[in-house]
Each structure stands twice: as structure tokens, then as C-alpha cells.
């Protein structure tokens, strides 16, 4: 089990953060997600055997946002 | 105000000039433009103009104007094509029937033949008879004039023989009819034109299939009561000042200035620079460039259809329509042949009438038979058959040629201009290699870690490093990652921190660089450091295509070679030196490229990007890489489907060979007929040999078959 925090830019309102929250939650291997558009981050707990952190970055960018920073917590 | 129509019935530039002249006479028009290639009439007018009047005027000279309706026109085109096919097949069948009937004996045979030949002459042969009239009124002649003269002579004389047999026998005129000649002359030429059209359509159809749908809409953002609303708006409805958002990978829809976001944008199709440029707040964006790894929000600087890209596209369209059509070799020969034949016919007539003291009727009959025999119907097949076989062979080899006149032009080329990025080079940055610094040991694990880090970044330089490393390494999972746009990336794996980026970035992190010697390089240098110690550098550049050198060597002897590019001097000079091209032109804007091309006559240009399109449109012969932008492909005469230059050499050799075959064909189509002119003129009448229809048909058959057979020799090329 791994937890990573992604710094997400481009979130303007709660609509954006909900979009990210819903999409990430549905991904296989994700245990817990929390997204804050005020603080510009998404914290994701996931099973590293099932999914890699790169996939989260790709998905968030597909939705129209930008990930420039991430770290393990 | 502007208005456009589709024009039906144009066949050549003479038609285009006639229409332009006719419409220009109308009051109240600011500009009139006729585009032969796109078959469009465009006008600009200040106040209300009577469109019906324009349509009527164009109709009066024999052409039809149609409204530019999207769905309609494609349906009309299909039925028009079927109709054309039907017309050609009917003319050929009619010609064969007329010829076949000659062998059957039955009452009133000649009247039936007259009946069948009349539609042949007046309906299928209408445009050729028009050419004869044009010759009589203006003196200009072409191949069509020759066809018209021959078929009309044959028809009128034969009709006279059938309708006035008493006059014929009384005056001892040759009582022969040439109805089958009327048929063959017209049917052959129609067939030749049909072949030509088919070859053109085939090339166009293959090219249409290459075009991907480009975005016609833009994502407009509006702030309504703190809620961000996104709507899709058609490009031509975008207005200056609108806020637009583009996602990664999308095309920038309109010129603008960035308000928010940071991204690397690929402008290579516009500027020729193969490495994407960092765009951030207040950076300018160009419509047509491709967004990289991040979203961008920007303000439109111009209206949707006023971007620089649109300027280039309209320039291309205009250049194509005002391009002078080269006078085809067949027409050149005809314009000399027609007066010669008429002169011989008149001499024949005069000799018999004045010197030989024969009756008017007999002298006329010799004149007619000279005109009939001198008409080389195979002339109409000489060029089209060779062109069809050549373009067919070319497309089998992945070279799409848009028309026969291109082959003729290609045989006169002296200067060749090569675009750099994407034409001589691959068009995207690739890693040349990695250089260790001073005895630094780099483990496989180190490279696995570097791969993991660059995989996390969407920057094109990261992608090229990733492509390079992935052959021998597996990317590690990262504990942390950070990317600074325009500078570099860093990541941590198991307490080891790696930094990958440019010199400025590493220096700002206090990584010791100065004691290492970093050599000058024409491409990009990416440094790699581990725990603040420099490991080495990746050398990245846009690679020259592997077969470029060989091809340049092949072409250097025969042609003057030039390299033209919008990229910076060092990059262009490097490629030019590597390949041995002496004429170097760098840092050129798309329109500067146009001026350069225009400065040399008999030029050929090879390109692939949007920034090449205007230059391609003005070049005498233009060749596009099939792997390049749609705009370049649609502005070009020839497309090299696989984007490889080896086909260029093939195309040039094929064109020269085809021209040779065409000249042989023209000779063969004239020689048989010319040899029979003395017989037609009555030189051997003392031996009772004069032109019977069977000689005329025989001459036509032999010359046509020789021409077709000769053209088929191109199949082996």
C-alpha cells in the first residue's frame, strides 16, 4: 500500500476537484482519495501491485489539469 | 462582401480566362477571381449585385454556376462522373458500330451511316467544332482545332456524297464516304481525355484519404457568476478577445496570448524548429501549432479565420489559381501543324484547280481528303496514355502525381529546394548518445532510475531520452518527482536524488558544472546529475534521415541543390555540411521562402510543414512528404507517401523517361498520317491510288496502336 500526494494546478472550483475525485476513485487499485482545490493537491492511497503512480498523473492531465510535483507520504 | 460559386464545364485555362473576362464586365464588382483547380468563381462587391445576372452571363458563354452547398455537391459529382463515363462509352460504341456497318451490304446503307454520324459529329464532337470556329475568328489553334477540322471535313464531304450523288458522278469526284473516320477521330480523342481525367481523380482520391479531420471548433471559456462554463464554438465564429482553453495534444485554434498555464508547444510545422517551445503567461501562440503536455488558457488576438495560418492557406489557394498553365507539348505541335496542314490543303487545291485545270468539285475533294488524312487522331492519345501508365506505375511505388503537366514540368527542372525539418531530417528530437563525465561510473540501476524519472515527464526531450533508454532498461517507481517547465526534472528513488535538465537548471541547484568541459553541440544538451554530482550528458538532435546523404549525392551532379528552413543558423548549417549542400538559406519565414523560390526559374521544392505550404504553392513542381501536414500535401503537385526521399530520384527519372515516350508517341501519331498526305493530295492518282476510307482508318489504327504499345513500355519502369 502506498500513499502519494500530487500537486495539481488548474483546479478553479469544487467542480474541478469533484471531477478528479470521481475519476480517480473509479480506478482499479485505489483505496482512498482526497482532493482539495483550495490547496491544489490530490492525495491518493493505492495498492502498488495493481496500479502505478504514473497512471494517476496521466489521468489527471487527461482531464485538463497539470501535475508538476508529487511525493510519497 | 464576398460570394462564391462552383463552376461547371471548365476544361482548361482558356475557359477560366473567358469566364473571368465575361464576369469582369459587370458593374459594381471590386474583384473577380476564377480558380481552375478548385473550379470556383469568387467575387468581391460593395453594394447589392444582381447574382442572377452573373449566372446568366456565365451561362451565355457555355458554363454553369452552382451554389456551394456541402451535401449537394458531392452527390452531383457522383452523377456527373457516371454521366461522363456513359458519354465516353457511347461515343466509342457508336464509332465501332459505324465502322462495322461498312462491311455489311444493305439498301440505303449510306443514309444510315449519315444518320448515325450526325450525332457523333454534332454532339460528341461539339467542343472540337467550337475550336474550329475559334480558329477562324481568332487564329489560335490547339489539338482540338485539328480534331475539329478533320472530323468536319470527313463529315461534310461524306454528307455531300450521300445527298448529292448526281453532282458527284457528274463531276467525277471520288464517291467515297468517310463516316467511320468521323467516329474514330472523335472517339479516340474523347477516350484520351477520359484517361487523363481518370488518372487525376485517382491521385486526388488517394490524397483525400490521407487527410485527418482537423479541429473545426474551439473550447471557449466564460466566467459566469464564479462558475466556469465551457462551450464549443466553430472556428469561424471565434472573435478577438474570447478566452480559449486547449488540452494536451490539441491544435491551437487561433492566434493568441497565454493568460494561464504552462506548456511546451510544438511549432515545428510553422517555424521548422523541431524542439517544442515553452509557452507561459504572455507568450504568443500560433494557430495550427500543437499543444504539448499541459493545458493552456489564452486570449484570442484575432478573429477565428484571421490567424496567420489562414493567411497562408488563402495565399496557397490564390497561388494555385493564378499559376500559369504550361502549354502542353501536344498543343504546341498542333499549333504549328494546323497552319501547315491547311497550307498543304490549299496548295493541293490550287495545284489541281489552277495548274491541273480540274473542276472545282474535284479539286475540293482532294483538299478534303488531305484534311481528313492529316488529322492525327492518335495525337489525342499520345500524352494521356503515357501519363496514365506513368502515374499508375508511380502510385504503385508510393508516389502520387496529380496530373500529366507535372511530368512535363519536372523534365525541365534545374534547381531543387529542400526544406530541412521533416524532409531531410526525421522531424523530432532523438538521442544521439550519452556521454559520461571524467570517469564517472554509471550503473544499470542508475539508468533504470533515470528512465523512471523521464517517463514521468511529457516534455519531448524527456520522451526522446525515454525512447532511447527503454531498449535496455526498465523504469523504476519513484518516491517523488518535480518538473520545472523550461528547466528540467528531478526525482527521488530510495534516498537517491537524480536531476535531469539544462545547464541553467543544474547551476541553480548548486550542482558543480564548471570544472567539466561541455562541448559545443548543434542540438540540445541534457545533463544528468546524481546527488548533486554530474554523471554525464545526453546529446539530442533532430536526426538526418538515413538515406538523405545518398540521395543528395545522386542529385548533386544534375541539379543545383538548396536547403531552406525557418530553423536557426547552426542547426541548418550542420545539416547542410553533413549532406554536402552548398546553398544554405536559414531562419526564413514562410513568405520569405516564397520570395526565394520565385527568384529561381524551373524550380522544384520538397517540404512537409505548414510553413512550407506557401512556397510549395508557388514552386514550379512541388513535392510533399506524405508524413507531413495536410496543408502541405494539398498545396503540392506530388506526394511521397512514405515520407522518404529516395522516391524523389525515382520521380525525376520517371518524368524524364515519360517525356521521351511522349515525344516518341507524338512522332508516331504524326508520321503515318503525314506519309499518306501525298496519296491524299492525289499525287498517285495516275496509278489510280487515292485515299479510300480504309487507308484513313488503317493509318489511324496503326498509329493509335503504336502509341498505346509504346506507352505500355513504361510499365517496366
Q: What is the mean pLDDT of each run of 10 residues along chain B (717 residues)?
A: 79 70 82 75 80 83 70 52 80 86 82 88 86 80 79 86 83 77 82 75 58 65 78 86 89 91 81 80 89 88 80 69 65 80 87 81 77 77 84 87 86 92 87 84 91 88 92 90 87 93 86 73 87 90 89 91 87 90 88 90 89 87 86 84 88 93 88 81 71 69 84 86
Q: Please classify residue B171 by burial: count the beta carbons closer than 10 Å to its beta carbon, then call 0-12 exposed, 13-18 middle and 19+ buried.
A: middle
Phi then psi for residue B400, to 5 deg, are -100, 120
Question: Is residue A35 helix, strand or coil?
Answer: strand
Question: Is residue B565 helix, strand or coil?
Answer: coil
Give alpha helix (H) positions in A1-73: 14-25, 53-62
In this prediction, residue B256 carries a pLDDT of 93
Contacts of B230 in chain A (CB under 8 A): none
Distance in angstroms (rounded) separating the CA atoms of residues B169 and B226? 102
**Annotated domain spans of chain A:** 2-72
In this prediction, residue B192 carries a pLDDT of 78
Catalytic annotation present for B59: no
Output the CA torsion sign for B99, B104, B109, B115.
negative
Output the CA torsion sign for B342, B345, B350, B351.
positive
At B570, list the grid cell: 547552426
CA nearest to B292, candidates B260, B248, B256: B248
Distance in angstroms (rounded) separating the CA atoms of residues B696 and B710? 21
Contacts of B296 in chain A (CB under 8 A): none
Chain A to chain B, count of Cβ pairs less than 8 Å apart?
Answer: 46
CB contact under 8 A, B294 and A66: yes
Question: Which residues have a Cβ under 8 Å from the Cβ of B487 and sit 6 or more positions away?
Answer: B501, B502, B504, B505, B508
CB contact under 8 A, B483 and A70: no
**Active-site pick, B255, B331, B419, B612:** B419
> B108: number of CA atoms within 13 Å, CB side?
4
CB contact under 8 A, A64 and B456: no
Of B295, B456, B479, the CB nearest to A64: B295
Q: Does A47 touch chain B (CB under 8 A)?
A: no
Q: Please classify residue B253 by burial: count the beta carbons closer than 10 Å to its beta carbon, then call 0-12 exposed, 13-18 middle and 19+ buried.
A: buried
What is the average pLDDT across A56-63? 85
Give the pairing type, strands B533-544 and B524-530. Answer: antiparallel
Instruction: Give the pTM.
Output: 0.69
Q: Work out the minimum CA distance from A70 to partner chain B, whole angstroms.
A: 5
Identify whether the C-beta of residue B219 lies closer than 8 Å to the C-beta of residue B244.
yes
Identify whether the C-beta of residue B159 lies closer than 8 Å to the C-beta of residue B111.
no
Q: Work out the minimum CA distance from A50 to partner chain B, whole angstroms.
A: 13
Distance in angstroms (rounded) separating the CA atoms of residues B128 and B121? 9
Phi then psi for residue B538, to 5 deg, are -95, 130
Distance in angstroms (rounded) separating the CA atoms of residues B25 and B11? 22
Identify whether the C-beta of residue B662 lies closer than 8 Å to the C-beta of residue B243.
no
Q: Does A69 touch chain B (CB under 8 A)?
A: yes
Of B226, B480, B484, the CB nearest to A71: B480
E-state strands within B261-397: 263-265, 277-279, 284-285, 296-300
Top pLDDT among A6 and B33 is at A6
Identify whether the C-beta of residue B203 lies closer than 8 Å to the C-beta of residue B402.
yes
Phi then psi for residue B43, to 5 deg, are -130, 155
Q: Does A71 touch chain B (CB under 8 A)?
A: yes
Top pLDDT among B322 and A68 is at A68
Identify whether the C-beta of residue B422 lies closer than 8 Å to the C-beta of residue B627.
yes
Of B226, B458, B478, the CB nearest to A53: B478
Q: Does A66 touch chain B (CB under 8 A)?
A: yes
Provide the Cα torsion B443, B449, B452, B454; round to 10°: -80
Of A61, A70, A72, the CB nearest to B248: A61
In this prediction, residue B162 carries a pLDDT of 87
Contacts of A12 in chain B (CB under 8 A): 228
Identify whether the C-beta of residue A35 lies closer than 8 Å to the C-beta of residue A42.
yes
Report ipTM for this prediction. 0.91
CB contact under 8 A, A68 and B483: yes
Question: Which residues have a Cβ under 8 Å from the Cβ of B693 and sit 6 or more positions away?
Answer: B102, B176, B177, B178, B179, B180, B181
Strands of the sheet containing B217-224, edge to edge, are B227-234, B217-224, B243-246, B296-300, B256-260, B284-285
- Count the neighbouring beta carbons within 10 Å of the beta carbon of residue B312: 23
Question: Is residue B231 helix, strand or coil?
Answer: strand
Q: Does A19 touch chain B (CB under 8 A)?
A: no
Contacts of A15 in chain B (CB under 8 A): 227-228
Identify whether the C-beta of residue B256 lies closer than 8 Å to the C-beta of residue B301.
yes
In this prediction, residue B72 carries a pLDDT of 39
CA distances from B213 to B205, B208, B216, B318, B629 (A): 16, 11, 8, 23, 12
Rg of the Cα atoms in chain A: 11
Q: Which of B247, B294, B452, B466 to mutate to test the interface with A (most CBs of A within 10 A)?
A: B294
With CA atoms as reference, the chain A residue closest to B297 would be A10
With CA atoms as reference, the chain B residue closest to A16 would be B228
Contacts of A66 in chain B (CB under 8 A): 261-262, 294-295
Q: Does A50 touch chain B (CB under 8 A)?
A: no
In this prediction, residue B101 carries a pLDDT of 85
Name every residue in B having a CB less than 8 A away from some CB of A: 226-228, 245, 247-248, 261-262, 293-295, 455-456, 458, 477-485, 492
Contacts of A69 in chain B (CB under 8 A): 481-483
Question: Is residue B691 helix, strand or coil?
Answer: coil
Distance in angstroms (rounded) separating the CA atoms of residues B509 and B512? 9
Domain A2-72 coded CATH 3.30.70.100? yes
Of B455, B458, B482, the CB nearest to A69: B482
Rg of the Cα atoms in chain B: 34
Of B295, B478, B481, the CB nearest to A66: B295
Q: Which of B219, B481, B483 to mutate to test the interface with A (most CBs of A within 10 A)?
A: B481
Amino acid at each position: 500500500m502506498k500513499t502519494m500526494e500530487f500537486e495539481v494546478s488548474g483546479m478553479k472550483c469544487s467542480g474541478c476537484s469533484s471531477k478528479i475525485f470521481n475519476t480517480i476513485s473509479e480506478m482499479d487499485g485505489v483505496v482512498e482519495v482526497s482532493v482539495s482545490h483550495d490547496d491544489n493537491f490530490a492525495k491518493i492511497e493505492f495498492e502498488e501491485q495493481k496500479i502505478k503512480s504514473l497512471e494517476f498523473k496521466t489521468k489527471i492531465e487527461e482531464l485538463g489539469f497539470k501535475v508538476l510535483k508529487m511525493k510519497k507520504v | 462582401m464576398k460570394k462564391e460559386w462552383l463552376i461547371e464545364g471548365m476544361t482548361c485555362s482558356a475557359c477560366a480566362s473567358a469566364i473571368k473576362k465575361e464576369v469582369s464586365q459587370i458593374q459594381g464588382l471590386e474583384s473577380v477571381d476564377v480558380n481552375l483547380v478548385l473550379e470556383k468563381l469568387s467575387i468581391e462587391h460593395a453594394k447589392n449585385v444582381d447574382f442572377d445576372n452573373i449566372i446568366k452571363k456565365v451561362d451565355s458563354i457555355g458554363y454553369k454556376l452552382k451554389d456551394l452547398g456541402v451535401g449537394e455537391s458531392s452527390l452531383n459529382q457522383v452523377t456527373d462522373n457516371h454521366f461522363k463515363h456513359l458519354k465516353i462509352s457511347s461515343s466509342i460504341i457508336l464509332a465501332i458500330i459505324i465502322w462495322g456497318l461498312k462491311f455489311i451490304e444493305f439498301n440505303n446503307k449510306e443514309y444510315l451511316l449519315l444518320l448515325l454520324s450526325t450525332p457523333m459529329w454534332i454532339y460528341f464532337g461539339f467542343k472540337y467544332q467550337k475550336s474550329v470556329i475559334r480558329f477562324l475568328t481568332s487564329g489560335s489553334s490547339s489539338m482540338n482545332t485539328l480534331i475539329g477540322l478533320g472530323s468536319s471535313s470527313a463529315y461534310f464531304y461524306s454528307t455531300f456524297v450521300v445527298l448529292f450523288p448526281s453532282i458527284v458522278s457528274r463531276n467525277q469526284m471520288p464517291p467515297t464516304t468517310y463516316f467511320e473516320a468521323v467516329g474514330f477521330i472523335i472517339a479516340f480523342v474523347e477516350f484520351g481525355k477520359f484517361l487523363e481525367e481518370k488518372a487525376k481523380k485517382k491521385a486526388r482520391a488517394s490524397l483525400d484519404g490521407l487527410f485527418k479531420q482537423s479541429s473545426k471548433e474551439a473550447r471557449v471559456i466564460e466566467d459566469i457568476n464564479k462558475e466556469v462554463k465551457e462551450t464549443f464554438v466553430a472556428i469561424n465564429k471565434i472573435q478577438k478577445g474570447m478566452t480559449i482553453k486547449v488540452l494536451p495534444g490539441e491544435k491551437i485554434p487561433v492566434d493568441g496570448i497565454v493568460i494561464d498555464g504552462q506548456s511546451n508547444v510544438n511549432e515545428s510545422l510553422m517555424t521548422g524548429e523541431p524542439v517544442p517551445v515553452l509557452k507561459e503567461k504572455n507568450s504568443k501562440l500560433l494557430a495550427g501549432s500543437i499543444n504539448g503536455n499541459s493545458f493552456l488558457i489564452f486570449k484570442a488576438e484575432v478573429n477565428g479565420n484571421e490567424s496567420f495560418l489562414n493567411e497562408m492557406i488563402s495565399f496557397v489557394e490564390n497561388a494555385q489559381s493564378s499559376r500559369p498553365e504550361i502549354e502542353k507539348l501536344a498543343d504546341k505541335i498542333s499549333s504549328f501543324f494546323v497552319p501547315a496542314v491547311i497550307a498543304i490543303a490549299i496548295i493541293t487545291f490550287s495545284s489541281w484547280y489552277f495548274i491541273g485545270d480540274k473542276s472545282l468539285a474535284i479539286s475540293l475533294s482532294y483538299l478534303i481528303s488531305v484534311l481528313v488524312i492529316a488529322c492525327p487522331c492518335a495525337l489525342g492519345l499520345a500524352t494521356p496514355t503515357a501519363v496514365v501508365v506513368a502515374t499508375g506505375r508511380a502510385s504503385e511505388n508510393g508516389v502520387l502525381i496529380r496530373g500529366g503537366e507535372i511530368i512535363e514540368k519536372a523534365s525541365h527542372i534545374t534547381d531543387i529546394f529542400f526544406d530541412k525539418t521533416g524532409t531531410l531530417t526525421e522531424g523530432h528530437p532523438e538521442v544521439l548518445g550519452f556521454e559520461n563525465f571524467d570517469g564517472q561510473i554509471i550503473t544499470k540501476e542508475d539508468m533504470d532510475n533515470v528512465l523512471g524519472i523521464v517517463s514521468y515527464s511529457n516534455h519531448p526531450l524527456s520522451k526522446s531520452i525515454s525512447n532511447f533508454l527503454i531498449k535496455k532498461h526498465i523504469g523504476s517507481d519513484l518516491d517523488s518527482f518535480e518538473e520545472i517547465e523550461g528547466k528540467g526534472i528531478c526525482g527521488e528513488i530510495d534516498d537517491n536524488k537524480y536531476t535531469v535538465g539544462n545547464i541553467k537548471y543544474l547551476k541553480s541547484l548548486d550542482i558543480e558544472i564548471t570544472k567539466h568541459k561541455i562541448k559545443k553541440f548543434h542540438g540540445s544538451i541534457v545533463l544528468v546529475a546524481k546527488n548533486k554530482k554530474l554523471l554525464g550528458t545526453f546529446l539530442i538532435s533532430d536526426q538526418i534521415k538515413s538515406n538523405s546523404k545518398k540521395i543528395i549525392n545522386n542529385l548533386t551532379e544534375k541539379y543545383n541543390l538548396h536547403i531552406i528552413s525557418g530553423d536557426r543558423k547552426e542547426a541548418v548549417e550542420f545539416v547542410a555540411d553533413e549532406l554536402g549542400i552548398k546553398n544554405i538559406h536559414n531562419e526564413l519565414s514562410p513568405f520569405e521562402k516564397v520570395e526565394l523560390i520565385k527568384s529561381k526559374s524551373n524550380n522544384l521544392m520538397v517540404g512537409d510543414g505548414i510553413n512550407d505550404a506557401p512556397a510549395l504553392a508557388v514552386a514550379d513542381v512541388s513535392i510533399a512528404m506524405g508524413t507531413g501536414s495536410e496543408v502541405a500535401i494539398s498545396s503540392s503537385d506530388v506526394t511521397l507517401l512514405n515520407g522518404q526521399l529516395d522516391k524523389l530520384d525515382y520521380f525525376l527519372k520517371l518524368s524524364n523517361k515519360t517525356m521521351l515516350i511522349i515525344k516518341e508517341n507524338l512522332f508516331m501519331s504524326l508520321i503515318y498520317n503525314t506519309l499518306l498526305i501525298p496519296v491524299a493530295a492525289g499525287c498517285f492518282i495516275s496509278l489510280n491510288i487515292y485515299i479510300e476510307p480504309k487507308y484513313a482508318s488503317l493509318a489511324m489504327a496503326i498509329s493509335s496502336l503504336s502509341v498505346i504499345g509504346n506507352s505500355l513500355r513504361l510499365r517496366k519502369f
